[in-house]
A = this chain, B = another copy of it.
Amino acid sequence: MDSELHFVHAPIVAQPLRLPSHEVGACVEFSGIVRELEAGMPLTGIRYEAYEPMARRMFGRIFSDIEGKHPARSVTVIHRLGWVPVGEASLFVRVLAKHRGPALGFCGEVIDRMKADVPIWKT
């Protein structure tokens, strides 16, 4: 499985989709967007920080853990750091797989695991 992980400090711009093989039947793309209300509190945005070396190690482990359960051809994760205004994406995930089940399953799990185990936080 190919994997890409990027931390960016500007609006997330995903590369146009290029299929690595004719055996990819499913592409799932997820964008996580900063909402105006968090726990009832109005926001204008959220500032994200990461401890990048550890975040990279953890993502590597997470990708390989999930691949055993949801076989995918490639995964791309882009996380924006710094100030992210309401209405803009802090996270982009793209998963390519042969079938939709693993593509959707991989995408959901990588986000759950990221929130649980990767040192990225709101300040």
The interface size of chain A toward B, counting residues with CB under 8 Å, comes to 29
With beta carbons under 8 angstroms apart, the residue of B37, B89, B100 that contacts A111 is B100
A-B contact pairs, 25 of them (CB 8 A): A17-B31, A19-B33, A19-B87, A22-B86, A22-B87, A23-B36, A23-B37, A24-B35, A25-B34, A26-B31, A27-B30, A27-B31, A27-B33, A27-B89, A28-B29, A28-B30, A29-B29, A29-B30, A30-B100, A30-B104, A35-B98, A100-B108, A101-B108, A104-B104, A104-B108
Residue positions of A touching B, CB distance < 8 A: 17, 19, 22-37, 86-87, 89, 98, 100-101, 103-104, 107-108, 111
